[in-house]
Structure 1
Amino acid sequence: MAQAPQGSQWKTLDTDLNRISQVEMATAYVARPLVGPGIALAFMVLAGIIAAIFFGQQPVNYVVVAAAVFGAYMAVNIGANDVANNMGPAVGANALTMGGAIAIAAICESAGALIAGGDVVSTISKGIIDPSSIADTRIFIWAMMAALVSSALWVNLATWAGAPVSTTHSVVGGVMGAGIAAAGLTAVNWPSMGLIAASWVISPVLGGAIAALFLAFIKARILYREDKIAAARTWVPVLVGIMAGVFATYLAMKGLKQIIKIDLMTALIIGPAIGALSYALAAPLIRKASVGMENRNKSVKTLFGLPLVISAALLSFAHGANDVANAVGPLAAIVHATENGVFEAKVAIPSWVMVIGAFGISFGLFLFGPKLIRMVGSQITKLNPMRAYCVALSAAITVIVASWLGLPVSSTHIAVGGVFGVGFYREWHMERRLRRPGAAVGKVKPIAKEERRRRKLVRRSHFLTIVAAWVITVPAAASLSAVVFLVLNAVVN
């Protein structure tokens, strides 16, 4: 038999190897989007194993294992959606890289959850459902399971659509829907639901107004002064002191409440004291950093970089301390009811449950967080360190004001409302400058109406998508929860 020339054999081998390489490249390209869901699924399975090991009952209670899996799923979704509100402005302002933001947020969120996370959680989601209306422990367990599943699915859908929504409202909607399906409309505490509905408007409007006021102050006192650097030396330490005082009060009231109980008046005393100390420390540092700076807006912006990073880290710590209960609250309720045969308005969160919530938030942030971080940080409106600083400051101030007034507000709505407030203020300010008398005499070049519309500084498509998602969060989560509860109840019975 005649043999093929040696060169043709090598050519055939090269062709085959090239085909294999192309298949490998195609496989890697197709598999890349599956890496995140695969890791998240592995974490959920691990959470179920942890529940089976630490629950301490034999035989293994599969309801608790399933609840742990869905609790881990909820925690991952909170990390993917909610944490973007704290880190998005800092990334959009280029004060942090995406990797740096994820690392800082993961550390601070986990620390907040594990160090200062709530050891007691309201299983009926702040009085939304009357416990006496659900007499059967088994029905209560299925209601909590339905709330957990539905709220996680809704937050996942919102993340996929690119809409930052309130996980607190998702859980509240889930509990409400399951409660109505289990015990009827009379089971719901409608005055509490009315306050939550009011917060849909109060949270973003108040956050946006405060952010816009601080931006207006910075423009008037620093950017529009003839000597910007001298003005910055005067006012930036004041703003840093305000930030420190506000966050000290915020953490005393919210972030550290499980370590030490501090009432509102004490927190309001601690805040100004920390603020004054921070001003005394910041003034010489700002003076030293501003030496040799050019008299330009760009130079002033750099002075806000470090305060912005610190504020984002503190927001993440407080978020981890407070919102981890959204992920593990229903899970803790199921564990308590299964273990004791009864359910109560408040129960302790076991350590292994808190660990699932803390690590789930970090996994969700790392795997899926960049999408919403980019949305909040750069796709709604353009941010720089000064504007992002105003957003972070408004978030902390709004929570303090709302707590003082007894209003239930969403940190998500506040932060995103702050971004909207900064953007809409810039639009208003631009229109005001274009309409001033100088435009009529040629000092300022007039711009046609169509061009002004094109130059809108807040993307209306994102604005409408996010507002629509906010409005339908509670009814959507409630409807989904009612369906899940009815299915679970029918299957088990």
Structure 2
Amino acid sequence: MCVTLSLRKCCTFVTWIEAKKLCRERRKSEVLGDNVSDKNYEPRHFETLDRDLDRLSRLEAANAFVARPMAAPALAAAFILLSGLLAALLMDGTTGTMVIVVAAALGAYMAVNIGANDVANNMGPAVGANVLSMGGAIAIAIVFESAGALIAGGDVVSTVAKGIVAPESTPSAEIFIEAMMAALFAAALWVNIATWIGAPVSTTHAVVGGVMGAGIAAAGFGAVNWPIMAAIAASWVISPLLGGLIAAGFLWFIKERIIYQPDKIAAARVWVPVLVGIMAGAFSAYLALKGLKKIIKIDFTTALGIGLAIGIGVWLILIPVIRKRSQGLENRNRSLKVLFSIPLIVSAAFLSFAHGANDVANAVGPLAAIVSATETGDFTSAISVPFWVMMIGAFGISFGLFLFGPKLIRMVGSEITKLNPMRAFCVALSAAITVIIASWLGLPVSSTHIAVGGIFGVGFFREWYAERRLLRARHLVPDRPVHTPNERRQRKLVRRAHMMTIAAAWIVTVPAAAILSGIVFMGIRLATG
């Protein structure tokens, strides 16, 4: 019965198609005559319409393709203009309002570039380990970067503005203002170029180079504090090496004590609370030293005591939590990723807070110096940072991250070496511990260099550890086939091309920003007469 009905429906449908075809042929015959062949016939006005529609659709697709990359720069330009407008409204009637407006726009440009480049180091490992989505990482970073900048930022502004070049060596307030504007523009331009080529650089070093170059152009080589510059140059080597060694050390510990144990879950119940306690203690000390200076002054010993107390407390709290969370998990590496995911997210948030508190000075340090010198005419005394200046820095970093951050986040998180939650956790933990050790030794270090150095350290350790396990297996099984040199090259776990690009960008950052700043300063002097 059902088959008969289906056949009837099919026959009816075929009959309908044939009837439509006959009607179409009859209409053609009436218009053109019976002697016209209509095998591939299509009226000319329909051909023209289809051709025009095809052209329009291609034009719309091309326009959308071209406009998509231009949307982010257009929004960034709008933010920069709004920052200048905000300065004009707040400083209306003040002497040198136009100078402050231009400086506010340059500060906003620098803040956007910091968000585009520097924040990737905090969020890249979590995204590369697939613990956070790109949208989630950006949302967390925006909240904690802004909170760090507005709550705890501003304490290091005077160091950026006046620690590199002695203000008293500058002939006048006008020249000092022009030098700061040149430094700000040159640093922002260099970070913009580095972001475009896909190289995570230290924005602190870019600002330092900009201030140094403008200071040399304005007052000569004697105006520069060369001991500080030598320490900064030394940090190019110390930061990544220290970060890489600490990250590799923790990864070795996790592999030996947890991953390659017969009962991974039992080992994780013992050691994951310890590792998270170390992380909590390290970040507590890190934030006490670097992130809360504006709120309360804490010396190094007190910060370590705070970190130790919080670390022990977190360790004790997490023992039952990890035991409960690990119930029912299979004895495999994938189960371990679940236990490390939440600590990794928390560490990324803490890093963002501390980064916002410290690196906002790279955008607003020279800007605050310009505002202070323009309003008072005094460029040698301490700088007070207006709240609207801090707002430009905080929102500029968040805006730059939202518009341009994904490119560097992907590169840092997944294109140097493959990360999972355990490896990314080691990178985040090494960042906090390295800063504490550097503060104890009195060494200036870059958070960018530490984080990227930690990722390289994890990758190179994986290569070494895989080779070591291969040699051990060959010793146990003498007949095991030997890998050729070409096969070993194919097993490399770190992309060497990225390492060379990033290392070159690090080395070039200070001199490149200094040269750009000197050129811009001379141009300003020529333009102003």
Fold-level match, TM-score > 0.5?
yes
| Structure 1 residues 75-474: aligned runs within 5 Å | 75-118=111-154, 121-122=157-158, 125=161, 127-344=163-380, 346-436=382-472, 438-439=474-475, 441-442=477-478, 445-474=481-510
Distance, in Å, in 2 between the alignment partners of 1:382 and 1:367 is 25
Per the TM alignment, residue 444 of structure 1 is displaced from its structure 2 partner at its CA by 5.3
Per the TM alignment, residue 28 of structure 1 is displaced from its structure 2 partner at its CA by 0.8
Per the TM alignment, residue 20 of structure 1 is displaced from its structure 2 partner at its CA by 2.4
Equivalent pair of 1:173/1:476 in contact (CA under 8 Å): yes
Q: Secondary structure at the match of 1:346?
A: coil
Q: Which amino acid aligns with 2:195?
A: T
Distance, in Å, in 1 between the alignment partners of 2:388 and 2:479 is 67
1:33 corresponding residue in structure 2: 69
Distance, in Å, in 2 between the alignment partners of 1:59 and 1:11 is 68
Per the TM alignment, residue 117 of structure 1 is displaced from its structure 2 partner at its CA by 1.1
Per the TM alignment, residue 273 of structure 1 is displaced from its structure 2 partner at its CA by 1.0
Deviates more, 1:393-402 or 1:437-446: 437-446
Distance, in Å, in 1 between the alignment partners of 2:323 and 2:249 is 25
| 1:289-313 CA-partner distances (Å, limit 9, x unpaired) | 1111111112112210000000001
Q: Which amino acid aligns with 2:355?
A: H
Per the TM alignment, residue 464 of structure 1 is displaced from its structure 2 partner at its CA by 0.5
Equivalent pair of 1:439/1:446 in contact (CA under 8 Å): no
Deviates more, 1:63-72 or 1:9-18: 9-18
Per the TM alignment, residue 124 of structure 1 is displaced from its structure 2 partner at its CA by 5.2
Equivalent pair of 1:249/1:270 in contact (CA under 8 Å): yes
Q: Which amino acid aligns with 2:59?
A: V
Distance, in Å, in 2 between the alignment partners of 1:123 and 1:413 is 20
Distance, in Å, in 1 between the alignment partners of 2:317 and 2:480 is 42
Distance, in Å, in 1 between the alignment partners of 2:154 and 2:97 is 25
Distance, in Å, in 1 between the alignment partners of 2:124 and 2:62 is 33
Distance, in Å, in 1 between the alignment partners of 2:161 and 2:464 is 40
Distance, in Å, in 1 between the alignment partners of 2:261 and 2:218 is 63
Per the TM alignment, residue 111 of structure 1 is displaced from its structure 2 partner at its CA by 0.9
Equivalent pair of 2:215/2:224 in contact (CA under 8 Å): yes
Per the TM alignment, residue 439 of structure 1 is displaced from its structure 2 partner at its CA by 4.6
State percent identity of aligned pairs: 68
Evaluate the alpha carbon distance shift between residue 200 and residue 345 of structure 1 in structure 2; reply closer, same or farther with a 3 A threshold: farther
Per the TM alignment, residue 89 of structure 1 is displaced from its structure 2 partner at its CA by 0.3
Structure 1 residue 51 and structure 2 residue 87: aligned? yes
Distance, in Å, in 2 between the alignment partners of 1:145 and 1:267 is 36
Evaluate the alpha carbon distance shift between residue 448 and residue 126 of structure 1 in structure 2; reply closer, same or farther with a 3 A threshold: farther
Question: Which of 52, 57, 70 is the matching residue for 1:16?
Answer: 52
| 1:347-406 CA-partner distances (Å, limit 9, x unpaired) | 111111111111110111011101110111010111000000000000000011111111
Equivalent pair of 2:94/2:375 in contact (CA under 8 Å): no
Per the TM alignment, residue 490 of structure 1 is displaced from its structure 2 partner at its CA by 1.0
Distance, in Å, in 2 between the alignment partners of 1:21 and 1:59 is 55
Per the TM alignment, residue 17 of structure 1 is displaced from its structure 2 partner at its CA by 3.6
Equivalent pair of 2:157/2:362 in contact (CA under 8 Å): no
Equivalent pair of 2:459/2:494 in contact (CA under 8 Å): yes
Equivalent pair of 1:75/1:324 in contact (CA under 8 Å): yes
| 1:248-276 CA-partner distances (Å, limit 9, x unpaired) | 11111111111122111111111111111
| 1:133-162 CA-partner distances (Å, limit 9, x unpaired) | 113000000100010000001000110111
Per the TM alignment, residue 59 of structure 1 is displaced from its structure 2 partner at its CA by 6.9
Distance, in Å, in 1 between the alignment partners of 2:153 and 2:92 is 23
Distance, in Å, in 2 between the alignment partners of 1:329 and 1:58 is 20
Equivalent pair of 1:195/1:407 in contact (CA under 8 Å): yes
Distance, in Å, in 2 between the alignment partners of 1:390 and 1:92 is 13
Q: Secondary structure at the match of 2:383?
A: strand
Q: Structure 2 unaligned runs (5+)?
A: 1-30, 33-41
Distance, in Å, in 1 between the alignment partners of 2:157 and 2:405 is 26
Distance, in Å, in 1 between the alignment partners of 2:478 and 2:402 is 52
Equivalent pair of 1:71/1:327 in contact (CA under 8 Å): yes
Equivalent pair of 2:125/2:424 in contact (CA under 8 Å): yes
Evaluate the alpha carbon distance shift between residue 112 and residue 290 of structure 1 in structure 2; reply closer, same or farther with a 3 A threshold: same
Q: Which amino acid aligns with 2:325?
A: A
TM-score (norm 1): 0.96
Distance, in Å, in 2 between the alignment partners of 1:410 and 1:126 is 19
Equivalent pair of 1:77/1:364 in contact (CA under 8 Å): yes
Equivalent pair of 1:130/1:188 in contact (CA under 8 Å): yes
Equivalent pair of 1:148/1:330 in contact (CA under 8 Å): yes
Distance, in Å, in 2 between the alignment partners of 1:165 and 1:345 is 31
Equivalent pair of 2:204/2:362 in contact (CA under 8 Å): yes
TM-score (norm 2): 0.90
Distance, in Å, in 2 between the alignment partners of 1:440 and 1:294 is 28
Per the TM alignment, residue 412 of structure 1 is displaced from its structure 2 partner at its CA by 0.3
- Please identify the structure whose Cα radius of gyration is greater: 2
Q: Which amino acid aligns with 1:428?
A: W
Q: Structure 1 unaligned runs (5+)?
A: none
Q: Which amino acid aligns with 1:194?
A: A
Distance, in Å, in 2 between the alignment partners of 1:207 and 1:273 is 24
Q: Which amino acid aligns with 1:420?
A: F
Deviates more, 1:263-272 or 1:87-96: 263-272
Q: Which amino acid aligns with 2:209?
A: G
